Amino acid sequence: MTDTPTEALDAIARTADDAAHALALSAPAARAAALNAAADALTANADELVALAMDETGLAEARLRGELKRTAVQLRLFADTVVDGTYLDARIDRPDPEFALGPRPDLRRVNEPVGPVLNFAASNFPFAFSVAGGDTAAALAAGNPVIVKAHPGHPRLSERTAALVAAALEGAGLPTGTLQLIEGQDAGTAMLKHPLVKAAAFTGSTGAGRMLADIAAARPAPIPFYGELGSVNPVFVTAGAIEERGSAIAAGLVTSVGGSAGQLCTKPGLVFLPEGHGLAEAVAAASAAIAEHRMLNPRIAAGYAQRREAVLGAKGVRVLAPGEVRTDEDGQAWVTPTIAAVALDDLRAGGDTLLPECFGPLAILVDVPDGERYADLLEELFEGNLTVTVHRAEGDDVARLVRAAARRAGRVLFDGWPTGVAVTPAMQHGGPWPATTSGGTSVGTAAIGRFVQAVAYQNAPEALLPPPLRDDNPWGVPQRIAEAGESARWGGAGN
């Protein structure tokens, strides 16, 4: 891997800008075919790509094969999203000489691509949040060229993926420069300042994300920066749920904490249980059954070891399952889950140490005394999160907890675990700061909405309108039409 030299960046940005012009005019079917071609290329080269990923990240083969499949399916879902066209939010107001505020012109509004998008790839999902991952797929689907800043954790995989996907996109007829790769931290921050870059996406730590968000906001012309940063994903378990299925909850928790060595943004980090819950033994037993797993790289492992030590050393923290951190002869760390426990008052006193995210297979069980209400605790202890999980039984009154959760997280789950994020139209993977920086979702088809901007055309001749706004609707997309004297209504395809 070689860092992209600073003097090469301007040409890369210009190539992307040239591609943006052509892409903006591309028909949905053409973009969809290209996204499907990219998915085909990933699938056809799965053996090679998974082998590279295993070597560079230490993630398990089954997990990586599943992640590659998810990445390919994600590209195909975005292909469907483009053809469906609902994301365009096409609106047509017919002229209305009798409008309440005086004659209304012919006005038509549609979401258009925003321009070149810079995507900072993540370490922990070498496929699904990397070169050909969700942010790339969403930005391409919206009709934007993408410049990916490779994550240094998997450089060879990044280069190979970029070569395959760029060739597939261009082979399907999209312009040269639709997907480009840059490498190196300096190249990434310099590109974030380039005036031709119009939006950026990022998945990673709160520290790095904040630094980049501040750069994006401080540009002479600021751009939206969609960062997906830290999250502790609190879980609240009622007494009723424990009574009904306590041992299943213990087992599910440990699986969710330990999977992929806990290196997931949705790993549950803090679990609130009624004092005297009696799950300690079941948790310890389930943890002991988890095989050791390599961490992504020594830097992340060192950060984890340090956080783990701090948590275990905090006042009042007890160890339910000690877990292990072992360094092999290559300097790579191997870990098993650590599950700690703490009383609520000690959590409050040690919040600076115990409340922030710990990236790795560690969770803290919090003993909550009678009389404390989960909804109040959620509001007292937490800022924005990607998820809040509620385990309850029939008849438990959790309505206020659920409303509080919806104000602090993008996803509220019931009786399950937040890891394993479905890629579907209704997914929301984002939340109030610091879960995400600029709103929106980075998983699911709604993610396309981050990479468009609305343009209205007033009294435009039919021939000068973009296709989704024309009366003959050549792309067959949904059009929301307000006739003279009428409220708006949906029309177009499928209606």
Catalytic residues: 228, 265
Other C-beta atoms closer than 10 Å to the C-beta of 303 total 15
Environment class of residue 462 by beta-carbon count within 10 Å: exposed (0-12), middle (13-18) or buried (19+)? exposed
Local structure of 220: helix, strand or coil: coil
Q: Residues 71 to 90: which contact its own copies by CB under 8 A?
A: 73, 80, 84, 86, 89
Q: How far apart are CA 381 and CA 113, in angstroms?
A: 39
Burial group, residue 435, by CB count within 10 angstroms (0-12, 13-18, 19+): buried
Q: How far apart are CA 446 and CA 470, in angstroms?
A: 24
**40 is a contact residue toward its own copies (CB under 8 A):** no
Compute the least distance from the CB of residue 448 to its own copies, in Å.
Answer: 12
Among 62, 101, 328, 474, binds its own copies (CB under 8 A): 101
Residue of 131, 111, 115 whose CA lies nearest to 123? 131
Contact with its own copies (CB under 8 A): which of 61, 186, 214, 324?
Answer: 214
Decide: is 459 part of the binding site for its own copies (CB under 8 A): yes
Q: Which stretch binds its own copies (CB under 8 A): 174-182, 268-276, 364-372, 479-487?
A: 479-487
Residue 373 lies near its own copies (rule: CB under 8 A): no
Q: Is the Cβ of residue 337 or residue 410 nearer to its own copies in the bound state?
A: 410
Min dist. Cβ of residue 305 to its own copies (A): 28
Output phi, psi for 390, to 5 deg: -120, 120
Q: From the list 153, 175, 204, 224, which residue makes contact with its own copies (rule: CB under 8 A)?
A: 224
By the rule CB under 8 A, 402 interacts with its own copies: yes
Using rule CB under 8 A, residue 326 touches its own copies: no
Q: From the list 6, 156, 171, 490, which residue makes contact with its own copies (rule: CB under 8 A)?
A: 490
Copy the structure tokens of residue 88.
């365009």
CA dist., res. 382 & res. 347, Å (int): 12
CA distance 455 to 111: 6
Q: Does 105 bind its own copies (CB under 8 A)?
A: yes
Q: CA-to-CA distance for 208 and 210, rounded, in angstroms?
A: 6
The CB-of-349 to its own copies minimum distance in angstroms stands at 22
Residue 284 CB neighbours (<10 A) = 16
Q: Does 356 bind its own copies (CB under 8 A)?
A: no
Residue closer to its own copies, measured from CB, 146 or 386: 386
Among 49, 68, 108, 234, binds its own copies (CB under 8 A): 108
Binding mask of the shown chain, residues 403 to 442, with x at each position contacting its own copies by CB under 8 A: x--xx-xxxxxxxx---x-xxxxxxx-x-xxx--xxxxx-
- Does position 66 interact with its own copies (CB under 8 A)? The reply is yes
Pairing mode, strands 362-368 and 270-274: parallel
Told to check if 29 binds its own copies by CB under 8 A, we report no
Is residue 109 near its own copies by the rule CB under 8 A?
yes
**455 contacts 443 by C-beta, under 8 angstroms:** no
Q: Which is nearer to its own copies, 235 or 341 (CB)?
A: 235
- Closest CB 300 distance from its own copies, rounded Å: 25
The token pair at 110 is 């549609």
Please name the residue ranges forming H helices in 428-481.
none
Question: How many residues interact with its own copies (rule CB under 8 A)?
Answer: 89
Q: Name residues contacting its own copies, limited to 148-187 (CB under 8 A).
A: none
To its own copies, the closest distance from the beta carbon of 412 in angstroms equals 5
Q: For CA atoms 204, 207, 211, 214, give the dihedral sign.
A: positive
